[in-house]
Amino acid sequence: MATFSLKSTLALSVAALVLASAPAALARSSPPGPAERCGPPDGVRRALTRLTADDHLAGASVLADGPCGRWTATAGTADLRTGRPMNTTDRLRVGSVTKTFTATVVLQLAAEHRLSLDATVDRYLPGLIDTHGYDGRRITVRQLLRHTSGLPDYLDAPEWEHPERLRYRHFEAGELVARALELPRPQRSWHYATTNYLVLGLIVQKVTGHSAEDEIGSRVIRPLGLRDTYWPGDATRIQGPHSHSYFTSGDGRRVDGTDWNMSLGGVGGALVSTQGDLTRFATALLGGRLLPAARLAEMERTVAADPDRLWPGARYGLGLISSPLSCGGVWWGHAGTVPGGHRALVAVGPGGRSVAVALNQVPDSLQAERDFRHLVDTSLCDSERTSV
């Protein structure tokens, strides 16, 4: 693309995962025989090559866990300055995958009867949404989770057309919500907006007395042993080994966008993690380890989503998206894009295979976006067994 626009890239970024059947029905096939080994399907390798060689993205990687065990596949470069190759162990900014972490905690609090999904925003945060025709007395927690609140996305404001100009600035959640309320009402009943999740974070803080980041840490990150997952706060640099991020500037140059203040995303998009941590989280969530069965079922009740904002055929639940697979069934989960250039996705598909995909440069063409979708589909659908 000619210019780097957070609005346009985020419109492509939301994506998701898991089973066509209930998590309890996750099936495991028999282990591979002595004449077989587990590894990346040829289709995955070809898809990675297309993304890096044909679409000119810096690097791409896939980590999969399934009936055969774990395999990885990579292509391209994690750090263009040093030439270090792409891998699946580096930390990266995961963008809107953060939303599923936040939604999980909201559902946990609902299971504990500390909040109600059908209560209004005004019950918990009176007066927060009460301007320009927006009314917190008519917006429920469930609508926030599902992006049917009618709230606009603050990232649709004109200043976010060039987010690199704001990359070192600190933002408060209340400030960003207030900016969203100055924007026109969305045209459609379903509208993807990180605004919704910033409001949810404020609700979590109100009902628990702790920040949503702290609650996610104590309820999800630490119990699951996600040692490479953390909140960066205002730190612009990623701790530990990490993949660099790249975006295309207005003059067509590839720019390193790794250093970034992600307070702009908050509990809607700021987490740093790894592909391994993401698959551990997704399989724990969808396997029933984080929520009671009834609350997980609520999470998976979806509504039709805007195909221009998500993938074709995708539907949105409570912090989860389902999207059809070419081999049948669906995958559930989430994806995210960050302004510095990273794209992350975690998914669980039929048969119990989970995948985490990372790009360290956002696709900047429709063909590259199609190739990314094909990589996800191939990673979940193609056979992972090959003859020795």
Residues 75-118: tens digit of each pLDDT:
999 999 999 999 999 999 999 999 999 999 999 999 999 999 99
Name which of 14-28, 164-178, 214-228 the model is least confident about. Answer: 14-28
Name which of 251-255, 278-282, 305-309 the model is least confident about. Answer: 305-309
Region 5-10 average pLDDT: 45
Question: Rounded to the nearest 5°, which phi and psi values hold at 359?
Answer: -120, 140
Instruction: For helices 98-111 and 275-286, give the axis angle rounded to 10 degrees.
Output: 30
Q: Is it the case that residue 225 has pLDDT exceeding 50?
A: yes
Region 230-239 average pLDDT: 97
Residues 166-199: tens digit of each pLDDT:
999 999 999 999 999 999 999 999 999 999 999 9
User: What CATH homologous superfamily does 6-98+105-113+211-387 map to?
Assistant: DD-peptidase/beta-lactamase superfamily (3.40.710.10)
Residues in contact with 312: Cβ distance below 8 Å, sequence separation at least 6, in sequence order: none
What pLDDT is attached to residue 39? Answer: 83
What pLDDT is attached to residue 37? Answer: 67
Q: Is it the case that residue 309 has pLDDT exceeding 80?
A: no
Length of the chain: 388
Q: Is it the case that residue 2 has pLDDT exceeding 90?
A: no
Q: Are 282 and 345 in contact (CB under 8 A)?
A: no
Residue 303: both structure tokens together: 């509504």
Dihedral, CA atoms, 36, 39, 43, 49, nearest 10 degrees? -140
- Segments of 176-319 assigned E as strands: 246-248, 254-256, 272-273, 303-304, 315-316
Residue 9: both structure tokens together: 């890239």
Residues in contact with 106: Cβ distance below 8 Å, sequence separation at least 6, in sequence order: 115, 117, 141, 145, 200, 203, 204, 318, 319
Residues in contact with 187: Cβ distance below 8 Å, sequence separation at least 6, in sequence order: none
**Which position has the higher pLDDT, 23 or 204?**
204
What pLDDT is attached to residue 384? Answer: 66
What pLDDT is attached to residue 289? Answer: 97
Q: Are 167 and 222 in contact (CB under 8 A)?
A: no
What residue segments make up the domains of the chain, in order of their start?
A: 6-98+105-113+211-387
Spatial separation of the C-alpha atoms in residues 32 and 108, rounded to whole Å: 38
